[in-house]
Amino acid sequence: MSFIIKDLNNTVLKEFYLHRDKPIAFKNGPIIQEGQTAIPFKTTRELEATSKFLRKVSSGNIGVSIIKVADLYEITIGGYKLVPTGGPGFGMTSTTAFDSNTNTFVPVFNPTFNNFYSHSTTKATFFDTVLTENLEYVKKEFEPGLNNTIDSYMVDYDGITGEDVFFHNNTPYYAYFNLKEKQFNLIKFK
């Protein structure tokens, strides 16, 4: 995989390569995978190998996010894919109807039930990098943004559901329901 930076005239300004058998030379921090895992209430894990990163992003939608902070570009490179979380509901219910033509009971297909069990979630895989204005790699920690602050706050909590982040009067809030304590929480971040 290559990450190519071009100007508006389509001239290549910088190119970075990812080789499946080599560590990513221009990443700052670990490769992260976010989304549903086999472990309940655990939605984030770190991937060690470049080959795992390439396999995950090549099977989904690839994306790049670039934010300029002071004189540096903070870049997130990765991808996401939709993951089905359920199966069809047909055969899972004992719903029947009486057919007066044949005087028998026949199974009834319930499309609402089917749709309820056929939704999907997303799974994202990404890493961060920092470049100067001259597009040179800088080994530097990202300054924690709002999502990182919320994620680091929630590290010690299990059983969290119903999460939401919203702004009120330009102030970020994080809301969630704690299943273990059966308690709704609203946290204000500055």
- pLDDT surpasses 50 at 31: yes
35-39 LR contacts (CB < 8 Å, sep 24+):
35/80, 35/83, 35/121, 35/122, 35/123, 35/124, 36/83, 36/85, 36/121, 36/123
Q: CA 122 to CA 84: how far, in whole Å?
A: 9
What pLDDT score does 150 carry? 66
- pLDDT surpasses 80 at 58: yes
Please indicate, yes or no, whether the overall pTM of this predicted structure exceeds 0.75. no
What pLDDT score does 116 carry? 45
Residue-wise pLDDT tens digits, 95-149: 455 556 665 555 554 454 444 444 556 788 899 999 999 999 998 876 656 566 6
Which of 40-44, 61-65, 103-107 is predicted with the least confidence, judged by mean pLDDT? 103-107
Which residue would you say has higher pLDDT here, 72 or 42? Answer: 72
For the chain, give the percent of residues with pLDDT over 70: 68
What pLDDT score does 144 carry? 59
170-179 LR contacts (CB < 8 Å, sep 24+):
172/146, 174/150
What pLDDT score does 21 carry? 93
Strands 171-178 and 104-107 come out as unpaired
What pLDDT score does 114 carry? 45
Which residue would you say has higher pLDDT here, 87 or 172? Answer: 172
Strands 183-188 and 171-178 come out as antiparallel
Which residue would you say has higher pLDDT here, 42 or 111? Answer: 42
Q: Stretch 150-159: mean pLDDT, rounded? A: 64
Q: CA 189 to CA 186: how far, in whole Å?
A: 10
Residue-wise pLDDT tens digits, 79-92: 888 776 655 444 44
For residue 151, give both structure tokens: 């994620």
What pLDDT score does 70 carry? 81
Q: CA 159 to CA 167: how far, in whole Å?
A: 24
What pLDDT score does 8 carry? 92
Matching residue, tokens 């570009």: 73
Which residue would you say has higher pLDDT here, 170 or 147? Answer: 170
- pLDDT surpasses 80 at 151: no
